[in-house]
Amino acid sequence: MVGPLDEYPIHQAPLPVTWAATSDRNFYDRSYFNAHDRTGDIFLISGMGWYPNLGTKDAFVLVRRGDTQTAVHLGDAIDDDRLNQRVGGYRIEVVEPLRKLRVVLEETEGIALDLTWEGSFDVVQEQPHVLRSGSRVTLDAQRFAQVGTWEGSIAVDGEEIAVTPDRWVGSRDRSWGIRPVGEPEPAGRPSDPPFEGMWWLYVPMRFDDYAVVLIIQEDPNGFRTLNDCTRLWRDGRVEQLGWPQVSISYASGTRIPTGAVIRCTGAEGKPVVLEIESLLPVALHLGGGYGGDADWSHGVWKGPDFTERVTYDLSSPDVAGKMMFGMVDHVGRATCDGATGHGLFEHGALGRHDPSGFTDWFTVAP
């Protein structure tokens, strides 16, 4: 159906903009945000997704404070007004494209927020991300990322938390393309060879004079299927940081990282070393909808005007034991050549990964 966006010369296919150019049910278009005050006392993660071939749209807000992780989920039928990014009481307003946004959740299940994002540096267009299972494309996505600051407020059960740009930082990304979403599909013939796992590292980090955006994926043998590391300087220079060598420290008996050392190479061959520590982890598969979340999966139809709140007690052994079996976002603090930065330290070591010494799905760090 023709909508407001069709007034603009932005078409990429002989279709209305609201119609995806592919019939693949897994086509998606999503925003992701995180916000923290650099202390590790609180971490907020949020996002919104549109799934045109599933007829749905959804949003979530995930907050961790202490041992409590709380999620609010919203879902509804998709509509054709993509200029009005809204799901229930959640909305994203584009104040200045690629620079300034406003993210609002009107009070829903005791959670509310009104936050304005300002990018500290230009966005980074990451390399295309493509994965196959046999001959089938399972992921074909484009993404851009940005680090910046937040201003506004967060309310949790009547307690209001002031958010000021001198303390609150974070990262965001926009991605679109094909990835598994919605209800599970019929399996068909089992994968040959079978899926044995993946190793993932994503680090958008903000320093005063530059930003570093790193994204790496490896297969169980350690073969890199994605390698992208960029440094943006405040004066506009863009520097590729080569083929990073990564050493991750894990808490004993788990796969939850406590930190990492990432050795990169600058444009002139000068070493660029980031030493990162985790200040607070948030499991994206406990209320965030990513990778095996039993409570919430992106694109699943829950009915019109759907909302719910789910709370996780991370001190419970049953809940804590699930953390390492999915992707985990950490409030990260990094040092590099005497400078200190803050941002996202996202990591998942799922299944076999020979370079890490993980021989199967259940091997843990000594």
pLDDT tens profile 140-180: 999 999 999 999 999 999 999 999 999 999 999 999 999 99
pLDDT at res. 80: 84
Confidence tier at 294 by pLDDT (50, 70, 90): confident
Tokens of 70: 């709380």
pLDDT at res. 331: 98
Half-sphere CA count of 307, side-chain side, radius 13 A:
14
- Statement: residue 182 has pLDDT above 80: yes
pLDDT at res. 31: 97
- Residue 98 DSSP one-character state: T
pLDDT at res. 275: 98
- Statement: residue 233 has pLDDT above 80: yes
Show me where the domains of the chain are located: 27-172+197-356
- Per residue in 248-283, pLDDT (tens digit) is 999 999 999 999 999 999 988 899 999 999 999 999
Residue position matching structure tokens 């890490």: 356
Beta bridge partners of 239: 231
Q: How many CB atoms lie within 10 A of CB 185?
A: 9
pLDDT at res. 299: 96
User: Model's pTM, two decimal places?
Assistant: 0.95
- Per residue in 315-363, pLDDT (tens digit) is 999 998 888 889 999 999 999 999 999 999 999 999 999 999 999 999 9
Q: How many CB atoms lie within 10 A of CB 73?
A: 26
- What does the mean pLDDT of the chain come to? 94
Confidence tier at 134 by pLDDT (50, 70, 90): confident
How far, in whole angstroms, is CA 71 from its chain's centroid? 15
Specify the fold of 27-172+197-356: AttH-like fold (2.40.370)
Which range, of 61-65, 99-103, 192-196, 243-247, averages the lowest pLDDT?
192-196
